[in-house]
Homo-oligomer: A and B are copies of this chain.
């Protein structure tokens, strides 16, 4: 469940934007969403900005809280 805190990359930014879009689509505040996912509100903020390099277990929790398959959080394109 641990993630490294890293400089935003194209991949982490794309995943973060996707999470933000889905959360906003559900009209959930970061706080309400954090509660639902069992994560901290400030963590959600940095995740959505692409400043985290989340583990797949963490992303799975996020996907569950958003009611989407884990795959839906990842971009279609390849990253270098």
Return chain B residues, CB-CB under 8 Å to A69: 76-78
Copies of this chain assembled into the complex: 2
Return chain B residues, CB-CB under 8 Å to A53: 1-2, 55-57
Q: Are A59 and B56 touching (Cβ within 8 A)?
A: yes
In the complex where A64-B78, A64-B80 touch, is A56 in contact with B4 (Cβ < 8 A)?
A: no
Interface residues on A, range: 20 to 34
* Residues A1-15 near B (CB distance < 8 A): 1-4, 6, 9, 11-12, 15
In the complex where A71-B76, A78-B64 touch, is A57 in contact with B6 (Cβ < 8 A)?
A: yes
Chain A residues in the interface with B (C-beta under 8 A): 1-4, 6, 9, 11-12, 15, 53-57, 59-60, 63-64, 69-71, 74-80
Given contacts A64-B78, A70-B74, A71-B74, 10 further A-B contacts (CB under 8 A): A1-B4, A1-B53, A2-B53, A3-B55, A4-B55, A9-B57, A12-B57, A56-B74, A69-B76, A69-B77
